[in-house]
Amino acid sequence: MPASRARLLSLVEKILNLDFDTQHWLRAAAVSALALILVAASATGAGATLQPGAPYANPHLIPAALGDTDIDAETQTGRYSLLVRQIQLRLAEIGLYGGRIGGVMSAETAEAIRTFQRFANLPVDGKPSHELLDTLTSAAGEAQHLLLRLDRAQKDQIEQARGDLEQAFGPDWAQQARAVVTGAKPDLEALKARAESCYQAPEPACLIVEAEHAAESVEKDNLRDWALSEVIQAQARIGQADQALRVARAINDPRSVIAALSGIAVALARAGRIEEALAAAQQVPDATLRDKALRAVAEGQLAAGRPDFAEVTVSLIEAPHERLPTLVATAHAYLAHGYGDVAHGLAMEAERLADSITAELFREWALSEMASLMAAVGEGAKANIMIARIGSAKNRVQALCDIVIAELRSGREKRARQTLEIAQTTLSAISRPAERQQARACLAASHAALKEFDDALKQARGIEFGYMHSFVLARIVLAMARSHQMVEALRLIDSIQDMKLRINAYVTMSRIARENGDEDSATRLSNEAITLARGLTNPLDKAFVLADLASSQAAGGDGATGRATLGEAVDVAAKITDPWARARALSKAASALVVINGI
């Protein structure tokens, strides 16, 4: 076995032994992360384990086919259809695709392809090809073995989580949970009347009730747990902590129950209910998720302008890799408030903490975090030492880009330009195309921050079309708008291929125009965003984007328009037939309405 392949399999072993995370119940995502680790090695040396057209290695692991999708007339040729079908099969085998395996190229298929391409460091275009099929086929056999190992690991995690819950809430937790989901059947006519009344005059509480009802009707356990978790977070945002705990008991997977408890703390923190959030975070029985909840509390305290409170919360976080980024953010917040000495002291504490992080997965990230902080507090020599300790050229470029931003915020533009030149030179040491594109993305953002838009666009042209290309263009567009180059920004904005990123760019440009006193431009840009949002074909995407637009409009001082747009989001959500998607859309609308009501 080649050494590189042995290292990959060793990493698989480590992943299987990791503690579960906030969204562990997304089985497909966990499967993907494990299966795709082997793609690079398989593509360069392994033969095809499963031949095209062969029977499933384990039919119980193939996701059930979902509903029909629209058929594109241009994709109905026999060879193309067979290619698409084989790719859909391979994507399903490694847990990335759950749609119909029928050879029809759908939006769901394209998104699954893009996800695989990102993990496999392939050009991201979402298109089927024979090269893609070859890569998928070489990984599929080993992915099946990983699936079986993952199932065993999941069973162990579930037992551990169940024990944690019983220790925290008593041995009757499971019985209480079953009692929640086995109540009397509701009156369907009464439910319909209640829903119609809520959709006509939406309020957060009634939207959450409708979201909960939709979530409870989801058949698949993991999807129902997902939807209920979002309902719980929406309940926490409006202060329904007791209701959130009640719904948490209806979640099937005990790991998801713990994640939901962490989600309550996160939601409370984001809603500004810091004391409640801190109390909820400290009740989370899993140490890893408790740390994540405490991070959210600290971030909420920083957003409220209280780095002193955040500093106390950070001290409660146990894992060094969770404490470090929050400590760094707290130091930056002190700098922004003019407390340079305090920030410098925290930087020294963060340096000692970073030295304690030895895991390879976190080491270079910790050095990058520390390099930018040291630059911000004026410790340039230490920043350079940390950059030199970063082994990956791609990671060094990213760290240098972070330092560029830190130098700019500190008013050291000349040093920022010098640092960017070093980052530009470091790009030549990166050989892998995917890593070069990632490096170009941060270089483009740095050039844009320095208002060097021609150089930023030059870097963007070196990135293949896809989400990363759109993301970089959006950063450049917004930097132009902030530099009062709105005309140039508008010329470029239609080049953003990802529609949600383009809509978000219009929304942010509208806010910038309003901040600059240009109400007419702000209104035109906001209307353009709404028009694009209405054109989205996926109803869940449309509901989410409209809800975000509504919050942005209200934050900009146009509460009436914000409520009208929120009404559109509710209308879209109410018409979604899939209960999982409807529950998520209604939860999102409820959360947005909480924000609007609070403005």
Q: How is 506-563 classified by DSSP, letter by letter?
A: HHHHHHHHHHTT-HHHHHHHHHHHHHHHHT-SSHHHHHHHHHHHHHHHHHTT-HHHHH
Distance CA 427, CA 439 (A): 7
Eight-class DSSP state of 469: H
Q: Report how far residue 442's alpha carbon sits from residue 465's, in angstroms, rounded to the nearest whole number.
A: 16
CA distances from 540 to 576, 579, 587 (A): 8, 11, 11
pTM to 2 decimal places:
0.68
Opening angle at CA 527, ends 523 and 529, nearest 5: 120
d(CA 60, CA 216): 24
CB atoms inside a 10 Å sphere around CB 386: 25
Angstrom distance (rounded) from CA 480 to CA 321: 35
pLDDT tens-digit profile, the chain (599 residues): 444 445 444 544 444 444 444 444 344 444 444 444 444 444 444 433 333 333 333 333 333 333 333 334 443 456 777 788 888 888 887 777 878 887 888 888 988 888 888 767 677 888 888 878 877 766 554 554 454 455 566 667 777 777 777 777 777 665 555 554 444 555 667 777 888 899 999 999 999 999 999 999 999 888 898 899 889 988 888 888 788 888 887 888 887 788 788 878 888 887 788 888 888 888 888 888 889 889 888 988 888 888 999 999 999 999 998 899 999 999 999 999 999 999 999 999 999 999 998 887 788 889 999 999 999 999 999 999 999 999 889 999 999 999 999 999 888 999 999 999 999 999 999 998 889 999 999 999 999 999 999 999 999 999 988 889 999 999 999 999 999 999 999 999 999 999 999 999 999 999 899 889 998 999 899 999 999 999 999 999 999 999 999 998 888 777 888 999 999 999 999 999 999 999 999 999 999 998 898 86
CA dihedral of 189, 194, 195, 196, whole degrees rounded to 10: 90
Q: What is the pLDDT of residue 139?
A: 52
Residues sharing a CB contact under 8 Å with residue 540, sequence separation 6 or more, in sequence order: 576, 581, 584, 585
Which two three-digit tokens encode residue 546?
């409209």
Cβ burial 353-378 (10 Å sphere, 16+ → b, else e): bbeebeeeebbbbbbbbbbbbbbbbe
Cα separation, 169 vs 285, whole angstroms: 9
Residues with Cβ < 8 Å from 364, sequence gap 6 or more? 390, 391, 392, 395
